[in-house]
Chains A and B, each alone.
Chain A
C-alpha cells in the first residue's frame, strides 16, 4: 500500500497540482498497487506509514505565510527527518520555495523555509517580470545516469538561488527555471525533489512519476519492479509540447 500525503491540499491547489496526485494514483492502480491519498491540512501532523510519497504544491502569497508558520514547528522538523531518511518528497513552485532556507515575499517579508534544500528565494524586483511559459528541461536520472527531457509550465515571481550543498534537478533548455539567469531548474537531494514546473508535471512525464513510485515502494521492498504501462498518449502529449517550445530554442 502506497500512501500519498498531499500537503495543504485544500490551500495549495493552484495550477493543477491535482494532476500530479491523479497521475501517481492511477499509475499505481493500473498496476494493481493499492494506493491511498491523505490530505494533510494546517495544524495536522504528517503520519508516515512506511511506504509514502509526499507532495507539496504551490499557493498564493497570502497562503505562503500561513504555511511557513505551520512548518516552523514540528511539522517542518518531521519533513526534514523524512528527507534525511530517504523519503520521497516532491515540492512544486510555492512548496519548492518553502523547502529552501527562506522565501521573501514581494512586500519584503522574509519567511523561513524548512531547510531541506540549500537554497533561498528572492522576490521579483520592481522592474522584473514574472517568469512565465512552457519549459523544457534536461534531467540526468541519477539511478541510471541516462539523460531525459521533461516538459512543464512555469509561472513564478520569486527567483531561487542554489547554494553549494544542493544539485539542480536539471538544466533549462527552453524557459527560465530557478532564476532565469544561471540555467538551472529545480533542486534534488536524496529522494527530495523541488521544481517550478507545474502544468501539471507528472502527467506528461510518466517516467518521472514511475521513478517516484518505485523509490517509494523500494523503501519496503528493495527488489520491487514496476510493470511497464502503455504510455503512447502521454508520449504524444510530451512530444507536442516539446515541439511547441522547441520553436523558441
Chain B
C-alpha cells in the first residue's frame, strides 16, 4: 500500500533531512533532535501522520531508571523476531526526538521503513507523545527521585503519566512494575494494566534504603509493610490500611543468580510459559530492565523463545554500562543518575573485591540535576563497613567533576579515604587510567555530562567512537 501524497508532510521530511545533514556536518551533535524540531515546525501533525503508518503500532517506555537499556533490549528482541523497529536510541526522549526518529525512518512520501515504533520517552513528555502517537503499549518502569528540580514531585509525575492512559487506543496495554508501589498504583487508572515483578526472597536487602522515595501507600498514605525490599522502595509490599497491595505479576522473574560483572541468570515466567534466561549485564536493576523488556515484547506478540534469545544476545546500551579497551587496561563506564542507581553499582562492584580502581565524576549541569544533595543519600557507609570487614581493598577513589569537592566531603564523612581530587574531567580520566595497573580495570562512575566528557577524552585518546555511530 503506498501512502497518499501529502505535500506538507513531504516538505517536513525534506526540511528535517537537510537539518540532520547540516547538524552532522557542523558536528553539533548526533543530529538526534533538531530534525524533529524542524519537521514539526513545517508540519505540526507530522508525528501523528507518520506513526499511523506503522504496521504494528508503537510501544513507549518511560520511568526514571533504565529507559534506554530496556528500549534497546526490546529492540534486540524484536530483531530476533524479525520485526523491524524504529527507535530513538541515542537518548533523545522528548517529543522532538521521537519525531526525528520517525522522520529519518520515512521515505520522502512518508512511507515507513519499519514495522513498529519503539520509543523511550521522558516522564514529563508521555502525555504529549501519547496524544500524537498511536501507543499500543506503554511501559512504566519505576519512579525514583531524579532531577526533582525539573519535575516537582513524584506523585505528580505519576499523575502526569496516568493522564496519558486515556489516549491509548482501545485494547492498549499499560505495562507496569508491580514492585514499585507508585507505579503499580497507576494500574488503577489503566483500562488494561499488565504487571511484572520479581519473586526472589534471597535478594531481600532487609531494609528500606535511606533513599526510599515512596514507601507510603500511594492510595491512602499509610506506611506500607514490606515483606521484601529489593532496592530503594522497590519490593514486595502490602498496605494494611486499605485494599492496595502489590498486584500479582503476569510476567515474573524468580531463581535469580547475580554474578557480578558477568551478568545474571533467572527464570522468566510469562502467560505463555517459562524459560531460563541469561543476560550479560550486571546487577538486579538490569534483571528488572530485562523483565520489563520481556513484558513489552510479550504484549507485542513476540514468542518466548525469541524473547529469551534476544535478551541473551543483548550487549549494552550507550554509556549506561560500557567497557572500553584502553591500551593494556580497561575502562568500565557505569552511568550514575541518582542514589538508587549509585547504591546498586556500589553494591554490585565496589563492596566485592572486583573494583580496585575507581573514578567518580560528579557534574551539576542541567542534564545531571543541579542539586547534588542526593550524594548524601548514597550509602557510602556500606562501603566503609565492607572495607572494615576486609571485603575490599580498593585504592582510595579518585574524584572529579564540577562538584568533585562535594564528593570528597561525602567520602570524608563516610570515613572513607579520599584519593586525588581532580575537578577537571580530562585530567582526571588520564590520571586515573595511568594509576590503574596494566591488565586491570578502571571503574568510572560519572554523571551524565561527565560521562560525555570522559567518553570524549577516551575517544581523543583513540579508545572509543563518537556516539551517533553507536
Binding site for B on A (CB under 8 A): 10-11, 13-19, 22-23, 26, 60-63, 66, 130, 132-134, 153, 155, 157, 198-200, 203-204, 233-234, 236-237, 239-241, 244
Contact = CB atoms under 8 A, between A and B. Distances in A.
B210 A18 contact: yes
B374 A130 contact: no
Contacts of B153: 60-61
A23 B212 CA distance: 21
The CB with the most chain A CB atoms within 10 A, among B211, B212, B215, B377, is that of: B377
Contacts of B418: 233
B405 A240 contact: yes
A61 B415 CA distance: 34
Given A16-B375, A19-B376, A199-B372, A240 B423 contact: yes
Contacts of A203: 376, 406, 409-410, 413
Interface of B: 145, 148-149, 152-155, 210-212, 215-216, 221, 223, 370-377, 402-406, 408-410, 412-415, 418, 421, 423
Given A13-B377, A16-B377, A19-B376, A237 B370 contact: no
Given A14-B145, A16-B377, A233-B409, A60 B371 contact: no
A123 B249 CA distance: 40
A155 B375 contact: no
Contacts of B221: 62, 66
Contacts of B154: 60
Contacts of B373: 15-16, 19, 153, 198-200
A153 B372 contact: yes
Closest 6 CB pairs of A and B: A16-B373, A19-B376, A16-B376, A237-B405, A240-B405, A199-B373
Nearest to B415: A26
The CB with the most chain A CB atoms within 10 A, among B211, B404, B405, B423, is that of: B405
B409 A132 contact: no
Contacts of B152: 130, 157
Contact of B376 (A11, A155, A200, A233): A200
A60 B154 CA distance: 8
Nearest to A15: B373
Nearest to A154: B371
A236 B211 CA distance: 26
26 contacts: A10-B223, A13-B377, A14-B145, A15-B148, A16-B373, A16-B374, A19-B413, A22-B413, A23-B413, A60-B154, A60-B155, A62-B155, A62-B216, A63-B216, A153-B373, A155-B371, A199-B371, A203-B376, A203-B406, A233-B408, A233-B409, A237-B405, A240-B403, A240-B404, A241-B405, A241-B406
